[in-house]
Amino acid sequence: MTPTQGIALVDLDEDGVDRAFRADVLTGLRQSQKAVPARWFYDDAGSALFEEITRLEEYYPTRAETEILRNHGADFRRLIGPGRAVVEFGSGSSVKTPLLLSAIEPGAYVPLDISGDFLRSSSAALARKFPGLPVHPVEADFMREVELPDAIAPLKKLGFFPGSTIGNMVPRTAVDLLRSMRATLRGSRGERPMLLIGMDLVKDQAVLEAAYDDAKGVTARFNLNLAERINRELDGTIPTGDLAHRAIWNDDFARIEMHLEAMKDIVFYVSGEKFTMEKGETIHTENSHKFTRRSGNLMLLAGGWTPLQHWTDEEGRFSVTLAQASEQREAP
């Protein structure tokens, strides 16, 4: 894979339409189980709605992970040690990132994000909070191997991937990402990078379904915003009033699935192409996988990372795992 850095990440056509968005939507809507990749949730409206979700009573993951980061700073300091370059996959949260950085005395902070604007504003805020800490934002798609700035080449690396965003990927993609993170973080002198990763845990189905179908309807608006975005950006005519938000626990795959379900037979157009949905048919918009300590460990191992330590919040709802890049060959 070619490392990415500083390339144009959003490819717009002559009408200003994001080509990758259109391709993903049209391909997804042509399938027998209609599906649109969850990464397209996050336009400005979707990102603001996600922020609102993180503050909802029912949505425990953000609070539970913050509790872990707040309570285990001394462990992180002991196991990770000072002087590492913290490479965050995503722009960083104003609460979680400072908790980690103030616990471990890092040598540098490198946020990686595909969205340049958000990356620059969150990096500037962080640099103000930690004067003296070198901050090197990199605009890149972290799903692929990324070339890190030369300035941090001498430092050992710690990858930071909070939020259980790994759970939004199907296992094959999650393992591909873990492998490319390993390639991004590996040092030239063969030192083994570390990774601190958040994973949401399997729990009572009612708690999970409520977290993805809250009483105020914010998650429903977040889900429907995807259809509205298709209408706004791709000349869509989806009758969003005829779609209902669904959050369903899939026990075989240990994941919450979000869907948009047609409440009656509908016909609509996207970028000039005609689509139909029968009453009860859905567009699958998101998977949010939940883990156990063992299933999380297995996924890390499959991606080339050896788990070292695992923490949960007091109620055992969410986990943070510290892992280290596995030796190339492990017996047996």
Please tell me whether residue 65 binds ligand AVI under the rule CB under 6 A: no
Which of residues 60, 109, 142, 212 is near ligand AVI by CB under 6 A?
A: 212
Rounded to a whole number of angstroms, the minimum distance from the CB of residue 3 to ligand AVI is 25
Nearer CB in complex with ligand AVI: 108/220: 220
Rounded to a whole number of angstroms, the minimum distance from the CB of residue 271 to ligand AVI is 26
User: Cα–Cα–Cα angle for 178, 183, 189, nearest 5°?
Assistant: 135
- Joined together, the tokens standing for residue 321 give 């795992």
Nearer CB in complex with ligand AVI: 72/245: 245
Nearer CB in complex with ligand AVI: 107/168: 168
**d(Cα 89, Cα 111) in Å, to the nearest integer?**
6
Give me the phi and psi of 60, to 5 degrees please.
-80, -25
Name, in order, each residue with C-beta under 8 angstroms of 111's C-beta and a sequence gap of 6 or more: 88, 90, 91, 92, 97, 119, 122, 123, 126, 135, 137, 138
Q: Please, which of residues 283-312 interact with ligand AVI by CB under 6 A? A: 286, 288
Using alpha carbons, select from 267, 251, 269, 249 the residue that is nearest to residue 259: 249
Binding mask 172-211 for ligand AVI (x = CB under 6 A): ----------------------------------------
Q: Please, which of residues 99-158 interact with ligand AVI by CB under 6 A? A: none
Rounded to a whole number of angstroms, the minimum distance from the CB of residue 244 to ligand AVI is 15
CA 222 to chain centre: 15
Which of residues 163, 171, 296, 303 is near ligand AVI by CB under 6 A?
A: 163
Rounded to a whole number of angstroms, the minimum distance from the CB of residue 320 to ligand AVI is 14
**d(Cα 109, Cα 158) in Å, to the nearest integer?**
10
**Virtual torsion, Cα 284, 43, 321, 68, nearest 10 deg:** -110
Binding mask 25-54 for ligand AVI (x = CB under 6 A): ----------------------------x-
Which of residues 66, 122, 123, 165 is near ligand AVI by CB under 6 A?
A: 165
Q: Which neighbouring-strand residues pair with 256?
A: 249, 288
**d(Cα 121, Cα 132) in Å, to the nearest integer?**
18
Residues that bind ligand AVI (CB under 6 A): 53, 61, 163-165, 167-168, 212, 219, 222, 286, 288
